[in-house]
Amino acid sequence: MRILMVPLLWAAMALPAAAEKLSLGQISNYLNDLKSAQGAFTQINEDGTISTGRILIKRPGRVRFEYDPPEEALVVADGDTVGIIDPRSNDGPQGYPLHRTPLKIILARNVDLTRERMVVGHASDGTSTTVRAQDPEHPEYGSIDLVFTADPVELRQWVIHDGSGSQTTVVLGDLQRDVRLSNERFVIPGKQRMLIDR
């Protein structure tokens, strides 16, 4: 299962009436204010199938995707590594350095989308604002499309484009913010046995 790496599905969520394009400063402030959150997510996979589950976010550096049956997979970023645990995989647990994935952009301690060359796309369709961001030092690590609505600013979905050209779309349900989440929720099972390419 390649959760980090699925065509863009704009119709997956209901959006409010026309809204002005959010500035990069507004979006950066929103992400920096998002210390912790939890909620449901829907993932649109490359083959057209849909997965669902629950997401936990604890910035900086931590996120946890708990997949519903029949998948029952788990993806955890612990601040350093992204671990993928899929009971149906023959490869066992897999690990990737967080700093080599586009997820690090929104999980960074200080998000600043105004940095030179970080944002390579910034547009509004009248109902939502989409920002495409990448690591300006390492564009080969891929990019992330972040979709926001306004009044109040809310992150609605993201699309990760990884370095190999694969995509993953994650549509967020309503997030419950400022929840108490222990660091134990972001421990990667079996991390010590993972082969992680640094």
How far apart CA 173 and CA 41 sit, in angstroms, is 6
CATH number, domain of 122, equals 2.50.20.10
Q: Is 2 a member of any domain?
A: no
Q: Is 161 a member of any domain?
A: yes
Per-residue pLDDT at 195: 65
How far apart CA 56 and CA 182 sit, in angstroms, is 11
Q: Is 41 a member of any domain?
A: yes
Range of the domain at 51: 17-173
The 10s digit of each residue's pLDDT in 26-50 is: 999 999 999 999 999 999 987 788 9
The 10s digit of each residue's pLDDT in 85-133 is: 888 777 777 898 999 888 998 999 999 999 888 999 999 998 999 999 9
Total domains, the chain: 1
